[in-house]
Structure 1
Amino acid sequence: MAALDQPARDLPPDAAAIEEIALATLEGLPREFRDHLGDVVLIVEDLADDETLAALGIEHPLDLTGLYHGRPLGEKSSSESGAPPDRIHLYRRAILDEWIETGVGLQALVSHVMIHEIGHHFGLSDDDMHALEDGVA
């Protein structure tokens, strides 16, 4: 019975907690970025599926914390109607594993992954992604 009496703070963060941090990260972005993210869907899953891992050449699901599915804004055209929406996937268990291994704060880690995936949406370089992350922090 003691396990049932443990407070919720002793449990690992669930998908809703990860999503809350990711959405707060979005809110902290400069308006010019937020205005172009309205159609991007945020999905928090425990792990990437085997098909995704195989397509990326990743052997272990805990090695992938996030993924952007879509085409960068600069590569899109108006003739692409009917295409599925762009998606950002955050993989909770991989994020939690990295959180434990690195000691980086969960909010900082989720924000880092989220901004990296947002950067792919905009076609940003790694340096641009770091600058954007520094502006949100």
Structure 2
Amino acid sequence: MSDAPDASGLAPSLDDLAALAEAAFAALPDDFRKMTGDVIFRVDDFAAKEVLDELGIEDAFELTGLYQGVDIGRRTLFDPSPQPSMIFLYRRPILDEWVDRGDVTLAELVSHVLVHEIGHHFGLSDDDIDAIEGD
């Protein structure tokens, strides 16, 4: 899968982005992947309206990814069985950011969003993740 639209001129599909996300996850160090545990990865065109409303986001293009679940640092043995942790990647906002930026490949951007959301799975805040990326 290349980073450009295919010969038909179509933008990368949901399956194309899922393949990029799978490749990005596979490229992470083994220990990092093992620590991630059982997280479900999903690619949708946009976040659901309810999700956007809950986050106070009016423009669906502003959300490229989302971690949904109880982060590892806050889980206990006494918690009821939670819903599985999920990481959502949103295709249309990712594609828009990729085109707007023009300075990264689509694979690099998908990897960045995926790792950012895995950071939330580990209990890191946006500020924590930005600080780590800055180092």
Q: TM-score, normalised by structure 1?
A: 0.84
* Aligned position for 2:43: 44
User: Aligned residue for 1:105?
Assistant: 105
Shift of 1:33: 1.5
Runs of at least 4 residues off by over 6 Å:
none
Mind listing any 5+ residue stretches in structure 2 that lack a counterpart? 1-5
Shift of 1:81: 4.1
Give the drift of 1:79: 2.1
Paired with 2:61 and 2:12, the residues of 1 have a C-alpha distance of 16
Aligned Cα root-mean-square deviation (Å): 1.8
CA shift digits 1:46-98 (9 cap, x unpaired):
00111100111111101100000012211111223421100000000110111
Count of residues in Structure 1 that have an aligned counterpart in Structure 2: 125
**2:34 paired residue number:** 35
By how many angstroms is 1:36 displaced?
Answer: 2.4
SS of aligned partner of 1:21? helix
Q: Name the CA distance, whole Å, in 2 between partners of 1:74 and 1:38.
A: 13
Is 1:89 equivalent to 2:101 in the alignment?
Answer: no
Query: Match of 2:122?
Result: 122
For the pair shown, which has the larger CA radius of gyration, 1 or 2? 1
Question: Partners in 2 of 1:25 and 1:79 — Cα distance?
Answer: 33
Q: Distance in 1 between matches of 2:59 and 2:107?
A: 24
Instruction: Give me the identity figure in percent.
Output: 45
State the partner residue of 1:53.
Answer: 52
Q: 2-side partners of 1:34 and 1:58: how far apart? A: 30
* C-alpha distance in 1 between matches for 2:80 and 2:34: 20
Q: Distance in 2 between matches of 1:115 and 1:101?
A: 21
The DSSP-based 3-state class of the residue aligned with 2:73 is: helix
Moved more, 57-66 or 75-84: 75-84
